[in-house]
Structure 1
């Protein structure tokens, strides 16, 4: 779609793009970038065998992409409000491509991986994980294309489809390794990322107000013209002020704590379950990847969509309390499981519960921090997601301490986190009842 408008001296100004294209490309960008969550998890067994990694080193390796992917969410999300989402997203892809290319070079040129290569592989994991931050770029990029009454549907579609990427890659990567080897598999991933970034670069258009800004028009004129074309939401001029305002509100930190357990926990278990199934239950890499990808990551992603509907009907606070109780139940099952069936039941319960909890937490953000929604979303999304980096190494330490039984005992950490999250969610529910 293209629209011709005129500036003050009558020169035609050509605007391009549409809400459907904005949603499609925003979701596509999120999908190809967010896949890096599963960069090392499905292949952990191969890296561990070749480099003889301890539990801590293995946990740090599979978690590496989550660190950069979490911390970069805040500055890159803020960058969108200055000039649109296209350049920030392409910058993240560029950093990811450097990391993936470096990893492929190491895997293709070395006859065998040794412990001495571990720091290099770790650094390339940090770089490749930059694409995980695409979430915070895509949210405002999509939002600015849609009116208020269509935000829920647009962002639900965006989040639901984009969140499928880690689960799908967890499923696919072990089969790719069996067919093409470790180096060939990551080379295929590099090609996919390059093609995906090219498609995004060619077809993505920023919302009208950003296109008009690049034409040098005054801000008010840009907004007036964009408003005539149907744009309702506009970027705030003081993004960092909103972050500061949100940080001063103690409720923002309560929401960060909840999201640390739900989404940070989701990221951590996405990369940890393939390790758990392979080493605790001695399953082959393909089966472990299938159980981790389909039984946890994909299920949790789908349940996040359903969780939005549930939270709309019953309220974010009640939904959070019940869903974190489910996380507690699933973690207990996994910690004490005496059979494969019990462990699988625990995984399914924790997947469903975490997916619903993720939706419940973000339902609460605009309610409790209404004066700084963008800032609160940045803090909650960015800092909460750091759980994906912190938890896997912690689980690895348990294994180093008690041996293979630590793969089960590590889930007691999720029991403790779930209890804490329930307490915080109950506090929110009580404050809501008093309001």
Structure 2
């Protein structure tokens, strides 16, 4: 795929509109988490239980797995076409969700909503071709800020449904927002160049690259943490009382406050992402990743201690936001070097496995039933990632770190 970094106007529009397209798509993708307790009486489950954690996790599943084919499609057909089709498809579950009264039926529809999460792979594929390698860390970090759609949903959707919990109001808002933006995106962006001769087998060949799997493991920790905690925070504090700390007495107010905490976490992690990418443009990414893993390690220990104290818990949450956000940017600085002609495919693989981390961890929390132990499980996974990074990228030599920019 040719690099078209000399078309600065088109590159700027691709970056801005690609980021915004991911933002509105992520708003839809993450819409269930801040409204989960409002769904409880309608769908017949008890707020704060495992059923709520499952409800929140389900959209993450398809949004992760389908990043692989969506990234490949973007490389082959063009990111603009795929983005437009994706946003139109997202409208379908948004229209259906307010009318569902069955928990099981909701799970099936939320699988469809998960497609909105594939916007990440489409955005990275679409944006990357417009920028030279030495600027891709910052550019892809900015594009990744579309993740802030999680924060926007958590911040505004609880207020939109109001004390009466009119869930339909929130989804009507999302329908109008995405429909209008789809038109704007179609009118203001150019299509990226594509390789019509590219075959599925050549795109899937990135799975044979060891670096694809190393980066996927690291992204499972950083992005998986981002997704898991962004979705879990409203559930963790949505009961209004955490270890004796009263969030609020009014249930409707609790929903809004929980949304603010979740939005704060997502916003901090998202803002840190381009910073991580920009630093990785200047400093060896492997060194940055080891710094990130050390920070995540400390964060998880603080979280484990925070199960006894709300202030410590939130300190751990925001420390994790900082280091996970930086880590997300660093990992995706490295992605284009795996296979420059198949950036969308690599993005799909790395994004899919990273997203699965966000899907699996809520089930770990629900299955263990003990927050202290659940957070220590994340500590253990961080140690594993650090060992792999040290063994392969510091001691080994047969990886993308051979590239002088890495």
Is residue 2:25 matched to residue 1:65? no
What does the per-residue CA deviation read over 1:155-198, in whole Å, with 9 as the maximum and x for residues that have no partner?
332222x1211111111122122256222222222222222223
Contact 2:154 2:260 survives alignment (8 Å):
yes
**Secondary structure of 2:34 counterpart:** coil
Matches within 5 A, 1:18-417: 18-50=10-42, 51-53=44-46, 55-106=49-100, 113=101, 117-148=102-133, 150-160=135-145, 162-178=146-162, 181-207=166-192, 209=193, 235=195, 237-238=197-198, 240-279=200-239, 281=242, 283=247, 284-294=254-264, 296-337=265-306, 338-367=308-337, 373-399=343-369, 406-417=370-381
Distance 1:276 1:300 in 2: 19
Displacement, 1:28? 2.1
Displacement, 1:149? 5.4
Rate the CA distance shift 1:105–1:333 in 2: closer, same or farther, 3 A. same
Contact 2:141 2:276 survives alignment (8 Å):
no
The answer for the alignment partner of 1:418 in structure 2 is: 382
**Secondary structure of 2:263 counterpart:** helix
What does the per-residue CA deviation read over 1:138-169, in whole Å, with 9 as the maximum and x for residues that have no partner?
22222334455554443332222x12111111
Gaps of 5+ in 2: 1-8, 248-253
Distance 1:375 1:239 in 2: 12
Distance 2:228 2:110 in 1: 15
Rate the CA distance shift 1:351–1:82 in 2: closer, same or farther, 3 A. same
Rate the CA distance shift 1:81–1:368 in 2: closer, same or farther, 3 A. closer
Rate the CA distance shift 1:244–1:345 in 2: closer, same or farther, 3 A. same
What does the per-residue CA deviation read over 1:23-57, in whole Å, with 9 as the maximum and x for residues that have no partner?
23222211111223422111122223552247332
Contact 1:240 1:375 survives alignment (8 Å):
no
Rate the CA distance shift 1:394–1:289 in 2: closer, same or farther, 3 A. same
RMSD across aligned C-alpha pairs, in angstroms?
Answer: 2.6
Distance 1:203 1:418 in 2: 42
Contact 2:275 2:326 survives alignment (8 Å):
yes
Q: Give the paired residue count.
A: 378
Contact 1:39 1:65 survives alignment (8 Å):
no
Distance 1:342 1:175 in 2: 27
Rate the CA distance shift 1:407–1:322 in 2: closer, same or farther, 3 A. same
The answer for the alignment partner of 2:3 in structure 1 is: none
What does the per-residue CA deviation read over 1:387-429, in whole Å, with 9 as the maximum and x for residues that have no partner?
1222212212223xxxxxx244422221122121111222233
The answer for the alignment partner of 1:403 in structure 2 is: none
Larger radius of gyration: 1
